[in-house]
């Protein structure tokens, strides 16, 4: 940041943030001496120092200075039922009665049955611990099943931390961060999303392509989503070329609809991966899909020469599985009650309200909304993945930081991920919009934004 209006904006917001988060400042100094950046994941860090949280209940989280926040970050999405949802209380209490890890607990089967009943592609399921693990496991199943080795992923799609998926998570092939070996690039073919011809060219006759993997929301690339027509074309193409189609539903699962993106778009993949909302705050992930493909890990089935390995010491945690089973029951009930439509309507209204708030401040703002998720872009550019990928986020990050000083965690600065939960109420949305109007009129955002835009234009 070089310009004076931006510096002034940052200085004022940082001062207000520091004034109300002294305990976080103190803990950060301790944390930074034992944790890189004082945190356990890069998105959790932001300047001048991260918040450290004490607790959460419903749509509210509380930091260690005892400040309350209307929480729309929700630990990056999993808390679709809010913090400590009452629907999970009995299940978690009974899990605590039996121990956190026992071999093959009954709740393992309960949770699997519920998932298979809700998700169209799910004939069989295996549980794991994280979305990252689920996606890399699904790809291994696909490789074992097809005997092929390469995968196709799309620019702007994030699938967790495994090397092969960090390639092309932005608009270029360049992997996200350093430390990714050349071999990962060799196995991963990257293709523009929502472009059937590009996928057709990249897949050739199928040849060595084991799987096409996609996040139907394109969440990490800006929440651009997709269409039923595109997914149908991808489905037809992958079937014809005998390529395994994997929907990574770590973000979209149980959020776009109770049956995920595959139910919402009416297109059934061969395999799908789940995490986040599946455990509703407890640790749980899954790979689900066609019985014949999943049989590659069945120790009692088929040809041992084609068998794939899959394991995981923590795959049986009773807390995770009990939470998963209870959360799936809760999502099913919400769907029956029409609550998904209500929530998605609230998200649309919030998007409109936020754009109006920025318009009043003289700052152009475009909001991408998909179901109960939002992402904001401060620009007058025509919406598009490539056009928005290089946007300078400085002003937006400061906006999120300023909102924290008003008791609203719309997102974390550095993340731009906004999620609503069934626990949010009209009062929460009113508070968010009032806080937005307040920070945009109290701080010199418009000056900083126009300075940034001038720099951007000069740069072009
Ligand atoms: C689409 C998608 N897939 C996979 C992952 C990885 O999940 P986890 O962070 O649980 O490893 C994420 C995480 O944000 C994601 O958004």
Alpha-carbon torsion 115, 88, 80, 129, what sign? negative
CB of 248 sitting under 6 A from ligand 1 = yes
Number of domains comprising the chain: 2
Query: For ligand 1, atom 16, which residue shows the shortest CA distance?
Result: 251
In a domain, 172, yes or no: yes
| Residue 422 Cα to ligand 1 middle (Å) | 21
Answer yes or no: do 262 and 389 share one domain: no
Could you list the residue range(s) of the whole structural domain that residue 410 is in? 4-82+339-459
pLDDT at 454: 66
| Three-state SS sequence of 370-395 | ECCEEEEECCCCCCCHHHHHCCCCHH
Distance of CA 416 to the CA centre of its chain: 11
- Give the dihedral of Cα atoms 186, 188, 191, 193; nearest 10 deg: -170
Q: Strand, coil or helix: what is 287?
A: strand
User: Ligand 1: which atom is nearest the Cα of residue 76?
Assistant: 14
In a domain, 343, yes or no: yes
In a domain, 434, yes or no: yes
- Check if 158 is active-site: yes
Residue (of 116, 37, 31) closest to 286 by Cα position: 116
pLDDT at 457: 56
Ligand 1 mutation target, pool 75, 130, 132, most atoms within 8 A of CB: 132
SS3 content of the chain, % helix, strand, coil (to 5): 45, 15, 40
Ligand 1 mutation target, pool 78, 153, 158, 274, most atoms within 8 A of CB: 158
Answer yes or no: do 169 and 253 share one domain: yes
pLDDT at 237: 98
In a domain, 326, yes or no: no
* Other CB atoms within 10 A of residue 440 CB: 23
| Residue 348 Cα to ligand 1 middle (Å) | 24
Answer yes or no: do 346 and 308 share one domain: no
In this structure, what CATH number is given to the domain that contains residue 249? 3.40.640.10
Q: How far apart are CA 435 and CA 57, in angstroms?
A: 21
Answer yes or no: do 168 and 262 share one domain: yes
CB of 129 sitting under 6 A from ligand 1 = no
Answer yes or no: do 124 and 259 share one domain: yes
pLDDT at 389: 92
Alpha-carbon torsion 141, 145, 147, 149, what sign? negative
Answer yes or no: do 133 and 270 share one domain: yes
Distance of CA 372 to the CA centre of its chain: 12
CB of 132 sitting under 6 A from ligand 1 = yes
CB of 131 sitting under 6 A from ligand 1 = yes
Q: How far apart are CA 241 and CA 255, in angstroms?
A: 30
pLDDT at 72: 98
Domain boundary among 280, 315, 350: 315
In a domain, 186, yes or no: yes
Answer yes or no: do 271 and 191 share one domain: yes
pLDDT at 301: 83
- Asked whether the beta carbons of 145 and 244 are under 8 A apart, the reply is yes
| Three-state SS sequence of 183-248 | HHHHHEEEECCCCHHHHHHHHCCCCCEEEEEECCCCCCCCCCCCCHHHHHHHHHHHHHCCCEEEEE
CB of 160 sitting under 6 A from ligand 1 = yes
Angle at 82 between CA 59 and CA 289, to 5 degrees: 150
Alpha helices in 316-368 (DSSP H): 318-336, 339-360
Answer yes or no: do 372 and 296 share one domain: no
Answer yes or no: do 195 and 257 share one domain: yes
In a domain, 95, yes or no: no
Answer yes or no: do 389 and 444 share one domain: yes
Answer yes or no: do 117 and 230 share one domain: yes
Answer yes or no: do 274 and 351 share one domain: no
Domain boundary among 254, 283, 315: 315
CB of 140 sitting under 6 A from ligand 1 = no
Spans of the chain, pLDDT less than 50: 1, 459-460
- Give the dihedral of Cα atoms 329, 339, 289, 164; nearest 10 deg: -120
Task: Give the Å distances, CA to CA, from 341 to 30, 67, 356.
Answer: 45, 31, 23
Query: For ligand 1, atom 14, which residue shows the shortest CA distance?
Result: 160
Query: For ligand 1, atom 4, which residue shows the shortest CA distance?
Result: 159
Contacts of 153 (CB under 8 A, 6+ apart): 159, 165, 167, 168, 188, 189, 190, 191, 212, 213, 214
pLDDT at 456: 64
Residues 336-358 have pLDDT tens digits of 999 999 999 999 999 999 999 99
Domain boundary among 265, 280, 315: 315
pLDDT at 460: 44
In this structure, what CATH number is given to the domain that contains residue 444? 3.90.1150.10
In a domain, 299, yes or no: yes
In a domain, 322, yes or no: no
């Amino acid at each position: 940041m070089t310009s004076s209006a931006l510096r002034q904006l940052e200085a004022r917001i940082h001062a207000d943030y520091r004034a109300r988060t002294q305990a976080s400042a103190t803990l950060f100094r301790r944390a930074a001496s034992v944790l890189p950046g004082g945190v356990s994941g890069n998105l959790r860090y932001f300047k001048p120092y991260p918040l450290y949280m004490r607790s959460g209940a419903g749509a509210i989280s509380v930091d260690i200075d005892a400040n309350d926040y209307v929480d729309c970050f929700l630990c990056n999405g999993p808390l679709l039922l809010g913090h400590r949802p009452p629907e999970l209380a009995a299940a978690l209490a009974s899990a605590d009665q039996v121990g956190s890890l026992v071999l093959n607990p009954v709740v393992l089967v309960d949770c699997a049955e519920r998932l298979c009943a809700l998700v169209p592609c799910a004939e069989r399921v295996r549980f794991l611990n994280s979305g990252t693990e689920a996606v890399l496991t699904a790809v291994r199943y696909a490789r074992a099943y097809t005997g092929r080795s390469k995968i196709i992923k799309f620019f702007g799609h994030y699938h967790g931390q495994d090397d092969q998926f960090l390639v092309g998570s932005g608009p270029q092939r360049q992997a996200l961060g350093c430390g990714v070996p050349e071999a990962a690039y060799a196995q991963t073919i990257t293709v523009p999303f929502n472009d059937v011809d590009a996928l057709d060219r990249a897949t050739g006759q199928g040849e060595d392509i084991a799987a096409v993997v996609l996040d139907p929301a394109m969440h990490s690339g800006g929440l651009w989503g997709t269409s039923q027509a595109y997914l149908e074309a991808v489905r037809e193409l992958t079937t014809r070329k005998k390529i395994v189609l994997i929907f990574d539903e770590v973000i979209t699962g149980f959020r776009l609809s109770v049956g995920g993106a595959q139910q919402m778009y009416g297109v059934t993949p061969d395999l799908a991966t789940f995490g986040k909302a599946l455990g509703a705050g407890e640790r749980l992930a899954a790979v689900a899909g066609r019985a014949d493909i999943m049989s590659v890990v069945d120790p009692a089935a088929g040809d041992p020469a084609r068998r794939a390995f899959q394991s995981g010491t923590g795959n049986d945690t009773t807390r995770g599985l009990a939470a998963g089973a209870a959360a799936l029951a809760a999502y099913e009930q919400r769907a029956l009650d029409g609550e998904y439509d209500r929530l998605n309507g609230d998200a649309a209204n919030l998007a409109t309200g936020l754009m109006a708030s920025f318009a009043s401040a003289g700052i152009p703002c475009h909001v991408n909304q998909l179901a109960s998720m939002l992402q904001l872009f401060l620009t007058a550019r025509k919406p598009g993945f490539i056009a928005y990928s290089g946007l300078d986020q400085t002003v937006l990050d400061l906006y999120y930081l300023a909102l924290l000083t008003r008791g609203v965690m719309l997102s974390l600065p550095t993340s731009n991920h906004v999620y609503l939960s069934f626990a949010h109420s009209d009062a929460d949305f009113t508070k968010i919009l009032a806080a937005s109007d307040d920070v945009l009129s109290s701080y010199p955002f418009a000056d900083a934004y126009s300075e940034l835009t001038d720099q951007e234009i000069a740069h072009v």
